[in-house]
Amino acid sequence: MAASVLAHAGLLGLLFLAAPEPGVEADAGVFPISLMNGATAAPRLAKPTPPTPPPATPSAPEAPEVEVEPPAPTDVEPIFVDATLPPVDPTAEPDPLTTPAALSVAAAASAAAGETCQLDGWLQAALQTDPAVTLALAAIPRPARSVANAIMLWDGRWVAEGPVAEAAAPIRTALINGVMAAPEACRTEVLRGPRLLILPDSVGTTVLAVGSGEWRWGDLLVEDQALAATDGSSRKP
């Protein structure tokens, strides 16, 4: 009995010794407990505090729906264009002033803007880019050319016989169309001696000689009209 009283008295003494001093906060998470046999119980841990969730991101406000009003009707009536093309006469001759040679000469004359006529240079440039002229030059046989590979095409009259006359018809047509498209001052200018037109072809370079003595480019049109009258055809002046 005495031993039990002594044990309880010792336990109370230990509790008083373990009490914290005034003004000092005790650890709320750990409470050491002494057992009767002198062993110390394991400390009791405090419950962990749950993490604070991040603040929610505010969602973007929805754009308000905008009503689109239809365009107001107008009083303009639709215009219907008759796209029917006039009938084409397959037997009609093409306009000589719309051929490649004529357009080339007309463009060169317009660029010169009234300066000195250079009709021989304009004609040479037009014939050099005409595919029909290139084919015609290739058809003229070598024996019909001079040693210098030159061909007299017009010397007051067009060459009317031989292989040159047969093959040079497209060249004559292109030359006439180019002269027709030139300004009148260029067609009536007095020239002396032949004009040489240098044209590249399959055999190298061909020189066309046009003119002899005193003459005008417009004389080619007069001669061409005379030839056209004999075969029943006609050309625009």
**pLDDT for res 207:** 92
Of the candidates 154, 159, 102, 164, which has an alpha carbon nearest to the alpha carbon of residue 127?
Answer: 102
The DSSP code for 40 is B
pLDDT at 144: 79
What does the pLDDT look like over 56-87, one tens digit per residue?
666 666 666 767 776 666 665 655 545 454 56
This prediction has a pTM of 0.57
Q: Among 15, 31, 186, which Cα is nearest to 109's?
A: 186
> Residue 99: how many CB atoms within 10 A of its CB?
21
pLDDT at 130: 92
Q: Is residue 1 part of a domain?
A: no
pLDDT at 230: 56
Which DSSP string corresponds to 162-197? HHHHHHTHHHHHHHHHHHHHS-HHHHS--EES-EEE
| Structural domain boundaries enclosing 135 | 96-231
Residue 139 lies in a domain: yes
* pLDDT (0 to 100) of residue 10: 62
Q: For the ranges 9-13, 98-102, 137-141, 213-217, which has the lowest average pLDDT?
A: 9-13
pLDDT of residue 234: 47
Instruction: State the total domains in the chain.
Output: 1
Q: Classify residue 122: in a domain, yes or no.
A: yes
Inside any domain, residue 103: yes
Q: What is the mean pLDDT of residues 126-134?
A: 92
Residue 171 covered by a domain: yes
- Residue 194 forms part of a structural domain: yes
**pLDDT at position 237:** 43
Q: Is the dihedral of CA 90, 91, 96, 97 positive or negative?
A: negative
- Residue 220 within a domain: yes
Measured N-to-C along each axis, helices 218-231 and 169-181 cross at an angle, to the nearest 10 degrees, of: 130
pLDDT at 160: 76
In a domain, 45, yes or no: no
User: Mean pLDDT over residues 220-235, rounded?
Assistant: 63
